[in-house]
Amino acid sequence: MGAQRGINAGGRIERLPFTRFKYLLYGTLMFIFTAEALDNGLTGTTLSTVDKAFNANPGLYAVASTVGVVIGLVFAGALQDVIGRKRPLFIANGIAALFAFAATFSPNYSTLVTLRVCQGFGLGMIFVIVPATISEWALGASRGRGFAWMDIGLQIGQMVVPFLSLFIMVPFPVNIGWKNMYYFAGAVSLVAFAASFALPESVRWLESRGRAERAENIMKKIEERVSRELHSPLPQVTKTYEVTGKRARPFTELFNWKVFRQTLLVMCSSVAIYSIFYLLQVFQPTWLVYAGLKLNVALEFTTITLFFTLFGKYLGGYLGDRIGRRATLLTFIFIGAVFLEVTGLFRTIAVGVMIGTIVTNFFIQGSAPIQKAFSAEPFSSGSRGSGYAVIDGSARAIGGILVPYLFASVLGTAAFGTYALVLAIIAVALALTTYAFAKETGKVTVEEAAVTTSAIQVNA
């Protein structure tokens, strides 16, 4: 089949240096991830106060947001491949803000859980749209670090939540404190909603959908702006890609065996990461309380722990660009799994739990940026959203719903150590599978990284 009309979006983006345009683009996406993390991080911080306020089983509340996230991931994955990255993103932020405020009016526990699922739906949309967006604007040689900055924004939000709770949740009665947290998170989501209007549509996505004229208009304006910011002409285009073949439709690339195989292999490391990550996000303050710390001390330490993971995320992104996705993921998951078991073995000793959680967080959360990049890279721009949603949604369903639900029943018991050991072994086995068999996708453009693609390199 002959080549469709294209604008060489990949080659032209690849030669764009970092200027104010890129900093503002990254900064806006980073802030949106921060707002998302504030909403998503409410679960672990408010779990104990919601439990006291409603006197209910914490298991449902612990997984409610993640249930919505998984549904929102799949929905937005397909939606953004059809109508673009920009419009679904401000819809998602609007949903997150709306249901954060609505949750504060919950008359009973079941209503709160239901509204938390709805809020999670909007958060899930954000989870899949931001990675697809950044993968299509980042340079091939530094895409891992681009994802690291996005995840640092995510981590800042997660870090702010327990710190903020010391001032607007802990000093208040249990039936008011958790609502204050939701008010704040909803307000920040409203700001993110407004900020998302300023983002440009992905020109790679527009080109993949045959909308070359609009893609050219956006690309030309960006090139003119960057040239003005540089006070010099742009560097020459050194790579050329033609858009060829049929337009990709959501999920259709998964029927290609090579893509399906890479999807499963990348999903293995994703399941390993999310299984441990969600345990820490949901239960870390509670583990510390069971080990003998007061709630306010547990929240303070959780904030400190999350601060150190900022460096882990950048290290993970940097190594992912230097030594590759697979080697970085295997190393970080292995170390994180070992120290998860340390947490389980010393579950009744505060110092042991503190050491275990801080090291596990550093490496497991440090692996997240490169895992997100790895999950977005096997697909062409026309089906990147839906492909990423399959990997991330499946992994979150297992790691974010099933695993925390199982662990909720053994908190504070001797069985926790056994559960932690089994999970650590499974996580390492999954990471080894990814390392041994997945295709490496670092250091190249997303056109070259795609397993099978509608964009074919002509010259480089």
As a residue count, the chain comes to: 460
How far is the C-alpha of 329 from the C-alpha of 438, rounded, in Å?
Answer: 12
DSSP for residue 169: T
How far is the C-alpha of 387 from the C-alpha of 385, rounded, in Å?
Answer: 6
How far is the C-alpha of 26 from the C-alpha of 134, rounded, in Å?
Answer: 8
DSSP sequence for 255-288: GSHHHHHHHHHHHHHHHHHHHHHHHHHHHHHHHH
For 228, the 3-state DSSP assignment is helix
Copy the structure tokens of residue 24: 């503002």
CB proximity list for 227: less than 8 A, separation 6 or greater = 233, 234
Per the listing, tokens 């904030």 go with 303
Q: What is the pLDDT at residue 246?
A: 56
**C-beta separation of 27 from 364 below 8 A:** no
Domain count, the chain: 1
Copy the structure tokens of residue 19: 């200027």
Residue 143: Cβ-neighbour burial (10 angstroms; 0-12, 13-18, 19+): buried
DSSP sequence for 178-211: HHHHHHHHHHHHHHHHHHGGGSPPPHHHHHHTT-
Task: With respect to residue 212, please indicate whether it lies within any of the assigned structural domains.
Answer: no
Q: Strand 240-243 relative to strand 455-459: parallel, antiparallel, unpaired?
A: antiparallel
- Residue 222 backbone dihedrals phi, psi, to 5 degrees: -65, -45
How far is the C-alpha of 350 from the C-alpha of 354, rounded, in Å?
Answer: 6
Per the listing, tokens 């275990």 go with 356
Give the N- to C-terminal CA distance of the chain in Å, as an integer.
22
Q: Please write the tens of the pLDDT for every residue from 32-71.
A: 999 998 888 888 889 888 988 998 877 789 889 988 988 9
Task: With respect to residue 220, please indicate whether it lies within any of the assigned structural domains.
Answer: no
Task: With respect to residue 232, please indicate whether it lies within any of the assigned structural domains.
Answer: no
How far is the C-alpha of 110 from the C-alpha of 97, rounded, in Å?
Answer: 20
Task: With respect to residue 216, please indicate whether it lies within any of the assigned structural domains.
Answer: no
How far is the C-alpha of 59 from the C-alpha of 116, rounded, in Å?
Answer: 13
DSSP sequence for 11-75: HHHHTPPP-HHHHHHHHHHHHHHHHHHHHHTHHHHHHHHHHHHHT--HHHHHHHHHHHHHHHHHH
Report in angstroms the alpha-carbon separations of 130 from 77, 147, 268, 348.
Answer: 11, 9, 22, 39
How far is the C-alpha of 336 from the C-alpha of 333, rounded, in Å?
Answer: 5
Q: What is the pLDDT at residue 3?
A: 46
Q: What is the pLDDT at residue 1?
A: 39
> How crowded is residue 232: how many other Cβ atoms within 10 Å of its Cβ?
9
How far is the C-alpha of 121 from the C-alpha of 3, rounded, in Å?
Answer: 38
- Could you list the residue range(s) of the whole structural domain that residue 441 is in? 9-202+248-459
- pLDDT truncated to tens, each residue of the chain (460 aa)? 344 568 999 999 999 999 999 999 999 999 999 999 888 888 888 988 898 899 887 778 988 998 898 899 899 999 999 999 999 999 999 999 999 999 999 999 999 999 999 999 999 999 999 999 999 999 999 999 999 999 999 889 878 888 899 899 999 998 999 999 999 999 999 999 999 999 999 999 999 888 999 999 999 999 999 999 999 999 999 888 877 555 666 777 888 899 999 999 999 999 999 999 988 877 888 888 888 888 888 888 888 888 899 999 999 999 999 999 999 999 999 999 999 988 888 878 888 889 999 999 999 999 999 999 999 999 988 889 999 999 988 998 899 888 888 887 776 677 777 888 889 999 999 999 999 999 999 999 998 898 765 445 555 5
Task: With respect to residue 238, please indicate whether it lies within any of the assigned structural domains.
Answer: no
**C-beta separation of 43 from 68 below 8 A:** no
Task: List the alpha helices (DSSP H) in 104-197.
Answer: 109-135, 143-168, 174-195
CATH number of the CATH domain containing 47: 1.20.1250.20
Copy the structure tokens of residue 169: 């949740």
Report in angstroms the alpha-carbon separations of 445 from 29, 36, 201, 244.
Answer: 20, 28, 19, 17
Angle CA(258)–CA(263)–CA(265) in degrees, nearest 5? 95
Q: What is the pLDDT at residue 239?
A: 86
Q: What is the pLDDT at residue 2?
A: 44
Task: With respect to residue 284, please indicate whether it lies within any of the assigned structural domains.
Answer: yes
